[in-house]
Amino acid sequence: CDWSSDVCSSDLGKKMIIVLAIGILTAIFGLLLIISPNTILKMEKHANHLIMTDPFFMKYRYHVGFLTILAGAYMIYTFLTT
């Protein structure tokens, strides 16, 4: 650790792994929303409604899915370039 800074490099590495994992999950969710929305609805039933799939998501699933994939790709890009 460089005690003159607020963040240790090992702490930053752990946080970036979390960003990568969230980015991958976000991209997968976006792909499922576009390609197979019924899969998300089935997961919702098994997860006791932990995943919110209100009518807005289904009505605009292509737009939301595309933006979700972009967000996931950005997180993955951030991990790879840091």
CA gap 82, 48 in Å, rounded: 37
Neighbours of 62 (CB within 10 A): 11
pLDDT digits (tens, 9 = 90+) for 48-76: 655 556 777 778 889 988 999 999 999 88
pLDDT at 24: 92
User: Nearest to residue 43, comparing CAs of 67, 59, 25, 60?
Assistant: 25
pTM, two decimal places: 0.66
User: Nearest to residue 25, comparing CAs of 77, 80, 78, 71?
Assistant: 71
